[in-house]
Structure 1
Amino acid sequence: MSETKLAALHWYALDPIDVLLFRESKPFSPGEGSWAKGLFPPMPTTIFQALRSALPYTPKKERDLRFLGPFLLDQENTLWLSTPKDLLAMGHYDPKADPAQIDDTPEELAEGDKYQRLQPVQKDHWKHIQWDQQKLPPLVPPGLEEGEYIKGRPHPWIRASALSAYLQGQLPKSHDFQSDPWDPQVLPHIDIQSDTRQVKGEAGYFTEVAIRLRRGWRLAAAISARIPTTTVRLGGEGHRALVAPLENWKPGIDWDQSREGTGLVAYLLTPGLAQPEEGSPVYQAYPYQWQPFLAGSATDRALLWGGISAIRRRQQGRDQSEQADFALLPQRAFIPAGTVYRFKQDPPPPKQLLGNPCAQSQTFESLNYGTLLWGS
């Protein structure tokens, strides 16, 4: 597959008209009276399918489209990406005061006086700490100055321009971060029997958790096709979003220079896949080929995606079946965007985290899953 320059893609803002409903991969049955939660921001495939629905229909199923996203866009058209997970928010206190009296609010814990990176472990300093030598060594906090303490992780979103500077070895400022610009909205669903006040047994009562973006915030994504201003269906319950092109817009980062470069730090821009060995159905946070070259990794819990699906099967010698057959699709554990890898030396391939070859590999590649940006 020929590689498409990310700078050649066309950018669009997706402004939700209503709440957004994206089901997670956890099996769900309304009759159990459970909570139906969602995954937000959604996976790249979800936004790609929404944008593709705005293109003219073609009977040929050519997989020639390229895609990147989704990310966040604020009211000033500033692009926000996942914060690198190796960053720490640092604070200061009076060395003469009692450190136990420090009482930061959750919001204050994410806003540092300055920010530092986790560092590869130095065995001389950490010789009394043990870890599995067959696994990666940990990344550890840097040495603290007098009166300095670690407040916690910064807010989960960083300006694209600040990420570009981060990849060049610079540390961001407090105004470069943003908390989640959305609120969950709980939607109870109750199906009552006719002429009674009883809930239907087969439907039951369940609660769905939707997402409502705050005023001025939108999703941003790029695709290798031109789309006029229109509306598309996005998520469940038939909810829609307004799609508008971002003309003469600069994202604030040179995608291709960062993607094609080299360095000892790799930042995961979009969710990716990796296995501990070739042909393994198990997933982990880094490719097995990188094990000898990694000095450490900063990541978070995996994003589970896949599972039960209703598909229409095409039987040999017959037209496509009219009935949707029950089917199980693979459930994959994706490495979350924002994961950071620290290397001891230049790593071998892969340069894009797509997991072991599978039927969906071409799709994952064209939608830019597992895209890595390189820096120092």
Structure 2
Amino acid sequence: MSETQLYWYALEPMDVLLFRESKPFSPGEGSWAKGLFPPMPITIFQALRSALPYASDKARNLKFLGPFLLDERDTLWLPTPKDLLATGQSDPHADPDTTPEDNFEEKVRGDQYSRLQPAEGDPWKPIGWDDQKLPPLVPPSLKKGEYIKGRPHPWMRASALSAYLQGSLPQAGDFHEDPWDTQVLPHIDIKSDTRQVKDEAGYFTEVATRLRWGWRLAAAISARIPTTTVRLGGEGHRALVTPLEDWDPGIDWERFRQGTGRVAYLLTPGLAQPEADPRIYQAYPSQWQPYLAGCATDRALLWGGISAVRRQGSERLDFALLPQRAFIPAGTVYHFKGDPPPPRQLVGNPCAQLQTFASLNYGTLLWGIVK
């Protein structure tokens, strides 16, 4: 993804994985801590970095890309572009008292795919759409008997994404559902010599993730790491790190990153910048507004919360607040009217505090076309 050589690794969990969401969590006030999966890039980067020798571990020039998903055949899976729709053909002999949407499995699987398109004309004005804001993306015209099933599964083969960026539509076998299950982990602290739960901080619940058989995380870092184990996530759970030697990810990263086109696909979470007034996070840089024909995205991912730090010269851990940031989810797609101005990477305004986001390839954009 850059001039620096990146080496790819598979991370196979040896237990459940525990990545808490960013919301401040205290067992005495809120007893449920949700999970976040896949984790943010910084989490996997620090796990791989911990496997380096001490001298290398202090290097500040390491590059990183990921994490993504890897199946048992070493096929790479990336977030599905959010402008894709699954469509189907209604059965003329079906029961008239049911609708095609009644079959949930058929709805989410899909057998034909299309892309959302920029709205033409001014069809949204009657419903009060603000023509000074970003116009919506709309479904294409459907043929007789065709209907929209919904979004395809959230993961796409890397080779299929390569074809998508060149203007081709994917096939049904190019998608996969989330290959993991969640596991609820209750924690109970009982009063001494009683069968009663403590009044404060006595009970809380976490949500862990268990990857299905054969599935692993994949990531790249600009350092050689031998086969080893690293701590990954909370509660000291570990993962087996294995180099992916002579491995073909199925997509030419550099070609699409340095390329041009009217469509930009967000490969990794991008740092969202708030508007100046009011300070509300938005899914695209403000300088793109005149050039955008539409944007397909989901709600932002939040990162930050409460932590503890040890001040210099002190042995005591003090209360601290981590900076709260919003990240645009990977898979977001931008449609442009013409060639957009910079940035070419969504890491916010360049400054010293944001250099880490750039070096870890947050907000990486791959550029493509629509035929």
TM-score normalised over the length of structure 2: 0.94
Structure 1 residue matching 2:218: 3-state secondary structure: strand
Q: In the alignment, is the contact (CA less than 8 A) between 1:265 and 1:343 conserved in 2? A: yes
Please say if 1:67 is aligned against 2:64: yes
Inter-partner Cα distance in structure 2 for 1:247 and 1:32: 48
Q: In the alignment, is the contact (CA less than 8 A) between 1:89 and 1:153 conserved in 2? A: yes
Q: In the alignment, is the contact (CA less than 8 A) between 1:14 and 1:219 conserved in 2? A: yes
Tell me which residue corresponds to 1:262.
Answer: 260
Q: Structure 1: which 5+ residue stretches go unaligned? A: none
Cα drift, residue 66 of structure 1: 0.1
Structure 2 residue matching 1:131: 3-state secondary structure: coil
Cα deviations across residues 281-306 of structure 1 (Å, max 9, x unaligned)?
A: 54210000100000000000100111
Inter-partner Cα distance in structure 2 for 1:112 and 1:130: 33
Q: More displaced, 281-290 or 222-231?
A: 281-290
Cα drift, residue 312 of structure 1: 2.5
Cα deviations across residues 114-142 of structure 1 (Å, max 9, x unaligned)?
A: 10000000116666454112210000000
Inter-partner Cα distance in structure 2 for 1:68 and 1:280: 33
Q: Which of 24, 33, 38 is the aligned partner of 2:35?
A: 38
Tell me which residue corresponds to 1:356.
Answer: 349
Tell me which residue corresponds to 2:87.
Answer: 90
Please say if 1:237 is aligned against 2:230: no
Inter-partner Cα distance in structure 1 for 2:169 and 2:107: 18
Cα deviations across residues 66-93 of structure 1 (Å, max 9, x unaligned)?
A: 0000000000000000000000000101
Structure 1 residues 223 and 309, CA gap change in structure 2 (3 angstroms): same
Q: In the alignment, is the contact (CA less than 8 A) between 1:264 and 1:374 conserved in 2? A: yes
Inter-partner Cα distance in structure 2 for 1:279 and 1:50: 38
Inter-partner Cα distance in structure 1 for 2:331 and 2:154: 9
Q: In the alignment, is the contact (CA less than 8 A) between 2:101 and 2:149 conserved in 1? A: no
Q: In the alignment, is the contact (CA less than 8 A) between 1:274 and 1:288 conserved in 2? A: no
Amino acid at match of 2:18: L
Q: In the alignment, is the contact (CA less than 8 A) between 1:278 and 1:356 conserved in 2? A: no
Q: Structure 2: which 5+ residue stretches go unaligned? A: none
Structure 2 residue matching 1:91: 3-state secondary structure: strand
Cα deviations across residues 245-274 of structure 1 (Å, max 9, x unaligned)?
A: 001101000000000001000000000023
Inter-partner Cα distance in structure 1 for 2:163 and 2:8: 22
Please say if 1:371 is aligned against 2:364: yes
Please say if 1:323 is aligned against 2:316: yes
Cα drift, residue 307 of structure 1: 1.6
Structure 1 residue matching 2:271: 3-state secondary structure: coil
Structure 1 residue matching 2:107: 3-state secondary structure: helix
Amino acid at match of 2:192: S
Cα drift, residue 279 of structure 1: 9.7
Q: Which of 111, 114, 127 is the aligned partner of 2:112?
A: 114
- Once the two structures are superposed, the pairs formed by residues 83-162 of structure 1 within 5 Å of their partners are 83-94=80-91, 98=96, 100-123=98-121, 128-162=126-160
Inter-partner Cα distance in structure 2 for 1:16 and 1:342: 37
Structure 1 residue matching 2:356: 3-state secondary structure: helix
Tell me which residue corresponds to 2:332.
Answer: 339
Inter-partner Cα distance in structure 2 for 1:67 and 1:49: 10
Q: In the alignment, is the contact (CA less than 8 A) between 1:273 and 1:283 conserved in 2? A: no
Cα drift, residue 367 of structure 1: 0.2
Q: In the alignment, is the contact (CA less than 8 A) between 1:157 and 1:178 conserved in 2? A: yes
Please say if 1:292 is aligned against 2:290: yes
Inter-partner Cα distance in structure 2 for 1:279 and 1:222: 38
Amino acid at match of 1:78: T
RMSD: 2.0
Cα deviations across residues 132-177 of structure 1 (Å, max 9, x unaligned)?
A: 1221000000000000000000000000000000000000001000
Q: In the alignment, is the contact (CA less than 8 A) between 1:93 and 1:99 conserved in 2? A: no
Inter-partner Cα distance in structure 2 for 1:279 and 1:255: 36
Q: Which of 247, 250, 255 is the aligned partner of 2:248?
A: 250
Cα drift, residue 27 of structure 1: 1.3
Please say if 1:10 is aligned against 2:24: no
Amino acid at match of 2:6: L
Inter-partner Cα distance in structure 2 for 1:14 and 1:238: 15
Inter-partner Cα distance in structure 1 for 2:175 and 2:128: 34
Structure 1 residues 167 and 85, CA gap change in structure 2 (3 angstroms): same
Amino acid at match of 1:342: H
TM-score normalised over the length of structure 1: 0.93
Amino acid at match of 2:75: T
Cα drift, residue 200 of structure 1: 1.7
Inter-partner Cα distance in structure 2 for 1:106 and 1:360: 46
Inter-partner Cα distance in structure 2 for 1:213 and 1:368: 24
Amino acid at match of 1:362: Q
Inter-partner Cα distance in structure 1 for 2:353 and 2:277: 15
Aligned residues: 368
Structure 1 residue matching 2:28: 3-state secondary structure: helix
Identity in percent: 77
